[in-house]
Chain A
Amino acid sequence: MSDLIADHVDMTFTMPSGEQVHALKDVSFTLKEGELLSVLGPSGCGKTTLLNLIAGFLRPTGGRIELNGAEIDGPGVERGMVFQQGALFEWLTVSENVDFGLRMKKSPKAINRQKVEEWLEIVGLQGFGDTPTYQLSGGMQQRVALARCLINDPDVILMDEPLGALDALTREKMQSLVLKIWKETGKTIMIITHSVEEALLLGERLFVMAPRPGRLHKEYNLPFAEMGLKQDLRDVKHDAQFGEVREEILSMIWNMEEEIMGKSA
């Protein structure tokens, strides 16, 4: 029952100038518990809007989104968020960031401390508990953001280009970490990304979205996430099928971008 269901979701923004922007049109999908979904698309296709709708920061102008059989009405702890820049609270230490959600729930301190230790170990930050977050590198900040989100035990984890600002090497390590967490916790994860490779690696399912209005363009079911759990991610990338799908999606997005450019020209 704990599926995430989007049912004919429509979203229209009204700009201050009065202009109407159709951000999402008739988006429907069902994400089963424990599925790993990545969403890909050219800029302006409504990826982030879709994520904000699921997170509850926005409300759709049409259709409905359900989680666990209940319509989403505002943000909640059962849907954890990880942002591109971490969005850490820089006035707090690493462990104060991680147990932020627990403290808001007023859960007992002793339990919090234990949980923080556990999660810092999982994300590979043991011993950094008392470090101020502004002293951490980008990759480490993203690990803190992951731990902060996961410690609340959400049903769904929503990631908004979580690895976009990292260098290639750190990015690869973080991709492995995301896969590891997905496997070990069995959480439903939805990742929005710009990178085709990342979308292929971190997607059991993959949505390619098209712009103007934002809509689901094509869906893939992919084996690479499972492969990535067993072997090195670099080997997965050298897989023949991987290359094929990557080229297909790249040219798909390329065409969409050209279409946009042509329209605006």
Chain B
Amino acid sequence: MSEIFHSPRGMFIAALFIILICVLIWATWYGRRLARTEVTDLVFGNPMKALGGYHWVISGVSTVLLLWLYFSWDAARAFFPNAANELCQVAKVESAVIPMRTAFPFEERLLRGTNLLNRDNTQLDILRARAKGNAFDETQQAQLGALVDRLASLQTSLASPDSLSPETTAKLDDIASRIDAATEKLNLGELSDAQLTAIANARENQPGWGQGKTEVPGDPVTERGALFDAIAPELTEIAKEYIDVRNNSPAFLDNVAALETDIAALGKSVPAVDDFRKQLNKMLKRIDDGAVFPPGALDKVEQSLANLHEVQIEKKGSLNWIDAFAMPGGKILSGNTACSEQGSGRWLPKPSDTVATFARLANPSIGFKNIPLLSIKQKPLAEMAGFLIPDWIADLVPGEYPRHQADGTIGENLKSKVLNIATGNFPSISVPVPTGHIWDSIMRVVAGLFFGIVLGVPLGLLMGLSRLAKGFFDPLIELYRPVPPLAWAPLILTIFGIQDDGKIFLLFMVAFAIMVISARTGATGTQLSKIHASHSLGASRWQILRNVILPNSLPEILTGIRISIGVCWGTLVAAEMLAGTTGIGFVENVARKQSDYEIIWITIIILGLLGLIFDLIMRWVIDKTIPWRGKG
């Protein structure tokens, strides 16, 4: 089932990828040809030179889409649907041997033993210097110095070939030969019948790359993958044993025990000595795990690991190239339970998945957290009446609310009937109303803007006309306006609640300040001659305000609204992220917590598109309502 669903999607993306490349090449070629053949008398710097050029638009859009398909690994998935599964098997081997490999200078600079000696010698030098310090008397200095020297010689003794016990040598040889055996198995490339059946089974039943709940399903679906998968458990086991191998001969352990006793004998009575004792103990604990081996003792293991790596690369074959070029900016990682994409393949969702997820979210019966993104819902009119009519109206009706009777029933009177109407508790017809996350966000912005405009514009006009109003309100508004709206959010949300009230009030504050300032600018910008003319034409104060100053301020007011929409939109999303249970910001916040990059990107795209639509609407309104702007 999933296979059928997958393969057309993969084919579609593959075809799209090829078409986009062709389109990009064509548009670029066309543009270059046009630039060569077009004879133009426009000099450099003439803005006319930037007009037209739809082919460059095509070229730009294709480039963006191609980059998206490429870096999200959607193209890789379309062309190499099994690559992630195979790389997952390789990753299993890699994560199995990584504990062993880190001990050797493969990815590190130094052999681990060398590194430890380096670090410990520096520490011992510091201790030696401190032992000579004037915090101690001469006997103490001698005593402590001797202990440091014994620690140093204990450390150095590990590097001596004599220290290595025959058991340890045997263990290391065993590990090296077992790695060799695994390498040989990988190199031979033979699979048992059981393994072949398992591959066929996985092909049949396991969801493909990016289709199931697991990003990259783990069972191998190719023979190449199965070879890696087969040796991974054995290598994990070997690595575990290798980590336990210590250079701790009986003689070394005796020395450690003796030193431990002598250090403990320093006692806790003198604080300075006690402090030094603790440091010596810490140093001993570092040395006593025997992680330093004589030079050459680990050569066999190192050689075996290097061989394994070589065979691994050889056996990966074409996967090396797919990994490097088709899946840029990251790799497939093998975790404890499953394989996953990491890097740009992870945080940049694949276009095909994004579209599928969007289609799923857009379905009103699924939505996000049981709330659709945008949909129509039947809502009883009574609910709206209950919302609009304040409940306290019922309290004004004379009389008392009915109490329950002895038989448990509750009677009705006028007071309770009024209360029912005020709370919307009566049968009524239902009307369709929009609902959903997107609608909630839009309504919050619209409500905030509405109150901002209705209160801000009159106050702004008044402040532009009256010395009293300007002087009185200016400090208030200028003090709260420069505060970033989000700085108000915690306070406002606490006072007004995390539901719509708080957010609408926050947006109101944002829109209000902008509207006051723009209306005021508009009012002060009215030409004096127009005011004089309207006085001479017999207009009253109110008529001048309504018919001259208000229309004259419209350009500034509309620009203010346009700015307010942008700022409100930004503030709203941030406020929804802080608190609440619906809205685009809420969706994005939940998606962020779940690291669901597809939904994060979908919300980003929705926000961008809605912002664009709002702005286009405002531009249209501005064009329609104030065509005279700048022409007076």
Given contacts A83-B532, A91-B554, 11 further A-B contacts (CB under 8 A): A52-B532, A55-B536, A76-B538, A83-B533, A87-B529, A89-B530, A91-B552, A91-B626, A133-B628, A134-B631, A149-B536
Whole-angstrom distance between the alpha carbons of A104 and B527 in the complex?
20
- Name A's B-contacting residues (CB within 8 A): 52, 55-57, 74-77, 79-81, 83-85, 87-91, 100-101, 104-105, 132-134, 145, 148-149, 152
0/1 string, B535-546, CB within 8 A of A gives 1: 111111001000
Whole-angstrom distance between the alpha carbons of A6 and B528 in the complex?
25
Chain B facing A: main interface SS: helix
B195 beta carbon closer than 8 Å to chain A = no
Determine whether the beta carbon of B631 is less than 8 Å from that of A152.
no
Whole-angstrom distance between the alpha carbons of A90 and B554 in the complex?
12
Interface residues of B in 514-542 (CB under 8 A from A): 527, 529-530, 532-540
Whole-angstrom distance between the alpha carbons of A91 and B540 in the complex?
19
Determine whether the beta carbon of B529 is less than 8 Å from that of A90.
no
Determine whether the beta carbon of B538 is less than 8 Å from that of A101.
yes
Whole-angstrom distance between the alpha carbons of A80 and B535 in the complex?
10
| B551 interface neighbour in A91, A132, A133, Cβ under 8 Å | A91
Chain A neighbourhood of B475, CB < 8 A? none
With A89-B530, A91-B551, A91-B552 known as contacts, the answer to whether A75 contacts B628 (CB < 8 A) is no
B632 beta carbon closer than 8 Å to chain A = yes
Nearest chain-A residue to B627 (Cβ)?
A: A132
Chain A neighbourhood of B532, CB < 8 A? 52, 55, 57, 75, 81, 83, 87
With A89-B530, A91-B551, A104-B543 known as contacts, the answer to whether A81 contacts B536 (CB < 8 A) is yes
A213 to chain B, nearest CB (A): 24
Whole-angstrom distance between the alpha carbons of A262 and B632 in the complex?
39
Whole-angstrom distance between the alpha carbons of A148 and B530 in the complex?
13
Chain B neighbourhood of A134, CB < 8 A? 627-628, 631-632
Chain A neighbourhood of B371, CB < 8 A? none
What are 29 A-B pairs with beta-carbon distances under 8 A?
A52-B532, A55-B532, A56-B535, A75-B532, A77-B538, A80-B536, A81-B533, A87-B527, A87-B530, A87-B533, A88-B632, A89-B530, A89-B534, A89-B547, A90-B628, A91-B628, A100-B539, A101-B538, A101-B539, A104-B537, A104-B538, A104-B547, A105-B538, A132-B628, A134-B628, A145-B533, A148-B537, A152-B537, A152-B538
Nearest chain-B residue to A160 (Cβ)?
A: B529
Chain B neighbourhood of A100, CB < 8 A? 534, 537, 539, 547
Whole-angstrom distance between the alpha carbons of A19 and B268 in the complex?
91
Interface residues of B in 539-575 (CB under 8 A from A): 539-540, 543, 547-548, 551-552, 554
Whole-angstrom distance between the alpha carbons of A83 and B632 in the complex?
14
B37 to chain A, nearest CB (A): 42
Nearest chain-B residue to A145 (Cβ)?
A: B533
Interface residues of B in 612-632 (CB under 8 A from A): 626-628, 631-632
Whole-angstrom distance between the alpha carbons of A79 and B527 in the complex?
20
Determine whether the beta carbon of A79 is less than 8 Å from that of B536.
yes
Chain A neighbourhood of B534, CB < 8 A? 89, 100, 104
| B529 interface neighbour in A79, A85, A149, A152, Cβ under 8 Å | A85
Whole-angstrom distance between the alpha carbons of A90 and B547 in the complex?
12
0/1 string, B292-303, CB within 8 A of A gives 1: 000000000000
A131 to chain B, nearest CB (A): 12
Whole-angstrom distance between the alpha carbons of A68 and B132 in the complex?
116
B541 to chain A, nearest CB (A): 11
Determine whether the beta carbon of A77 is less than 8 Å from that of B536.
yes
Chain B neighbourhood of A145, CB < 8 A? 533
A81 to chain B, nearest CB (A): 4
Whole-angstrom distance between the alpha carbons of A89 and B534 in the complex?
9
Whole-angstrom distance between the alpha carbons of A74 and B554 in the complex?
28
| A83 interface neighbour in B529, B538, B543, B547, Cβ under 8 Å | B529
Interface residues of B in 578-632 (CB under 8 A from A): 626-628, 631-632
With A75-B532, A87-B530 known as contacts, the answer to whether A104 contacts B540 (CB < 8 A) is yes
Whole-angstrom distance between the alpha carbons of A134 and B527 in the complex?
15
Determine whether the beta carbon of B632 is less than 8 Å from that of A90.
yes
Chain A neighbourhood of B535, CB < 8 A? 56-57, 74-75
Chain B neighbourhood of A105, CB < 8 A? 538
Chain B neighbourhood of A90, CB < 8 A? 628, 631-632
B209 to chain A, nearest CB (A): 62
0/1 string, B271-284, CB within 8 A of A gives 1: 00000000000000
